[in-house]
Amino acid sequence: MIHMPKSIVIPSSLNGKYLREACEAKSEIVLLSGVNIGNLGSFVEYIHAHHKKAYIHIDITGGFRPDEVGIQLLKNMFHLDGVISTNMHALTRARAIKLETIYRLFLFDSRSLERAAGAMSDGQFSAIEILPSGYALSEYDKIRKYAGDTKLIAGGFIRSEKNISDIFAAGFWGVTTSDRQLWQYGVNRS
């Protein structure tokens, strides 16, 4: 279970860019997106040296395969703390070896939300990220009903502090963004 204050902005460092700034953010988590297995180890070491947790978006990690061996490597060789993915099988494997898991759910239409309802209600994930943030915000009540007590994160098209404030006011636990101008924003209330 992710133990962090509510209303936190989780920085997403694309290809390792602005990793220093991401590690200076209020969030205890830094999300790595678009990295590869060749640079993953050094990025994770850097994040851990700043007393942060390193999470990786496994769907867009170069040279990585989310099978049983790949997931084991993330924990045992790269010492990651958590993973984010749309791949339920990979998340199940990660959870089995005690990695934190964030299920990434894209809302295309009302059917995509209904299809994901069963997965959300199982309580099997540390958190659920819903994208894009505009749809996440407008569908919050339904999502909360399906997700139970699971932490909810909004992501995608996070453009302003007002956008973040509206998301937190709706009840979301956090947001993810690659916009480094927003990484220091966060109410940090429990």
Structure-token pair, residue 2: 């992710």
- Is the pLDDT at 123 greater than 90? The verdict is no
Domains in the chain: boundaries: 7-183
pLDDT at 37 over 90: yes
* 83: enclosing H helix or E strand: strand 82-85
Q: Would you state the pLDDT for residue 87?
A: 96
pLDDT, position 4: 63
CB 83, CB 91: distance < 8 Å: yes
CATH homologous superfamily of 7-183: Aldolase class I (3.20.20.70)
